[in-house]
Amino acid sequence: MTLRERWGRVLPHLVIWPPIVISCAYVLVFSAWTVWVSFTRSTLLPEYSWAGWRNYSTMLATRNWQIAYTNLFIYGVCFVVFTMAVGLLLAVLIDQRVRAENVYRAIFLYPLAVSFVVTGTVWGWLLNPTIGVQSLVRGLGWTSFRFDWLIDRDMAIYTIVIAGVWQASGFAMALLLAGLRSVDADLLKSAQIDGAGPVRMYLRVVFPTIGPIFIAVLVMLLQFAIKTYDLVVALTAGGPGLASTLPSVVVYDFMFQRGELAEGSAAAVMLLASLAIVLVPYGLYRRWQQRRAGSHA
């Protein structure tokens, strides 16, 4: 073998492996590193003396964490339910062979191209009682009108739901619409011959056949909800007080503002665990589905 040939054989390996090794190591080593830090006594800088589960128990006992998880629950449920509902409504409406379908699609989907920072900032103005919707309605003559969720401790978390639904509905719409369009035409025709009206057609025939897409969208949205960070920072900064804080905000707060790297890392690991609760069952479900599809074929 000449040198040239040997080089020709080695070169692909030199090109392929570094990025693959780096990105696998990135996922595994960085995760393991954070998990490790969460079991140490690190504060401002990482140090590696063992602390056991102490950071986890401290974190779980803080008010920040308890409020953040209650909020995540409220926000997660509301965000997913309303986004799915609006997305489904949009998909079904657009599915009625409306004119200018592409224009509507573009309008409902554009929020996805915009950053959470931009979304949060703008909704922050709209929902700000002194300059936004409240002042507009009062200016029109209804002087006792109140819409001050942004500064209301009990309602602040719902402002994040509003902005989140605005941003993500187009995403749900796009996937559900693709699903609606993929339903077998023969199936629809035979249902029509059986005399099913449009409502029954959707409820009995169309929706059940796109069940897997519903689940996929649901899982993606839950994942968004758990990871939500920028939106809160831009919209309410977690306030008033801690009223609209979320776990991701608490992680950052402990890591970089309080200089408690270990406790912040423990919070990050718990955030990952919440994500795993959603994603692992879904992964298993997908595998089960593929295996079933495989055995039927």
Partner 1 sequence: MPDRTGLARLAIHTTLILLAGFFLVPLLVVVLNALRSNSDIAHTGVIGLPRELTWSNFSRTWSSYCISEHCDGVQPYFWNSVRMAVPATAISTMLGALNGYSLALWRFRGDTIVFGIMTLGVFLPEQMRLVPWVIVLRDLGLFNTISGLVLIHTVQGISFTTLFCRNYYTSIPADLLKAARIDGAGFFRIFGRIVLPLSPPILIVTVIWQFTGIWNEYLYGVTFSAGEQQPITAALIALSARLSEAPQYGEQSAAVLLAAAPTLVVYLFGGRYFLRGLTAGAVK
- Give, as ranges, the residues between 199 and 258 that touch partner 1 (CB under 8 A): 201-202, 213, 216-217, 220, 223, 226-227, 229-230, 233-234, 248, 251-252, 255-256
Q: Does 130 bind partner 1 (CB under 8 A)?
A: yes
Q: How far is the CB of 197 from partner 1 (least distance, A)?
A: 8
Residues from 15 through 74 that contact partner 1 (CB under 8 A) = 15-16, 19-20, 22-24, 26-31, 33-34, 37, 46
66 versus 192: smaller Cβ distance to partner 1: 192
242 versus 265: smaller Cβ distance to partner 1: 265
Q: Does 76 bind partner 1 (CB under 8 A)?
A: no
Strand, coil or helix: 40: strand
Q: Measure Cα distances from 259 to 38, 77, 287 in Å.
A: 13, 32, 42
Residues from 132 through 161 that contact partner 1 (CB under 8 A) = 132-133, 135-136, 139
77, 106, 203, 284: residue in contact with partner 1 (rule CB under 8 A): 106
Q: Does 85 bind partner 1 (CB under 8 A)?
A: no
108, 147, 149, 158: residue in contact with partner 1 (rule CB under 8 A): 108
**How far is residue 95's CA from residue 181's CA, in Å, rounded to a whole number?**
8
Q: Measure Cα distances from 249 to 65, 94, 150, 244, 256 in Å.
A: 10, 37, 17, 10, 11
Q: What's the one-letter identity of residue 282?
A: Y
**Residue holding tokens 């103005």?**
125
72, 170, 176, 238: residue in contact with partner 1 (rule CB under 8 A): 170
Upper half-sphere CA count for residue 28 (Cβ side, 13 Å) = 6
51, 74, 81, 95: residue in contact with partner 1 (rule CB under 8 A): 95
183 versus 243: smaller Cβ distance to partner 1: 183
Q: How far is the CB of 173 from partner 1 (least distance, A)?
A: 10
Give 279: exposed, middle or buried? Use CB within 10 Å, 0-12, 13-18, 19+: middle
67 versus 225: smaller Cβ distance to partner 1: 225
Q: How far is the CB of 77 from partner 1 (least distance, A)?
A: 20
76 versus 264: smaller Cβ distance to partner 1: 264
60, 81, 126, 243: residue in contact with partner 1 (rule CB under 8 A): 126
Q: Does 261 bind partner 1 (CB under 8 A)?
A: yes
Q: Does 118 bind partner 1 (CB under 8 A)?
A: yes
**How far is residue 40's CA from residue 46's CA, in Å, rounded to a whole number?**
8
**Per rule CB under 8 A, count of chain residues that contact partner 1:** 97
59, 67, 71, 111: residue in contact with partner 1 (rule CB under 8 A): 111
Which is it for the CA torsion 123, 157, 254, 221, positive or negative?
negative
Query: Contact, 244 vs 157, CB < 8 A?
Result: yes
- Write b or e for each residue in 178-202: b if 16 or more Cβ atoms lie within 10 A of its Cβ, otherwise e: ebbeebeeeeeeebeeeebeeeebb
Q: What's the one-letter identity of residue 229?
A: Y
Nearest to 150 by CA among 139, 162, 138: 162
116, 117, 123, 128 alpha-carbon torsion, rounded to 10°: 150
* Token duo for residue 277: 């609760």
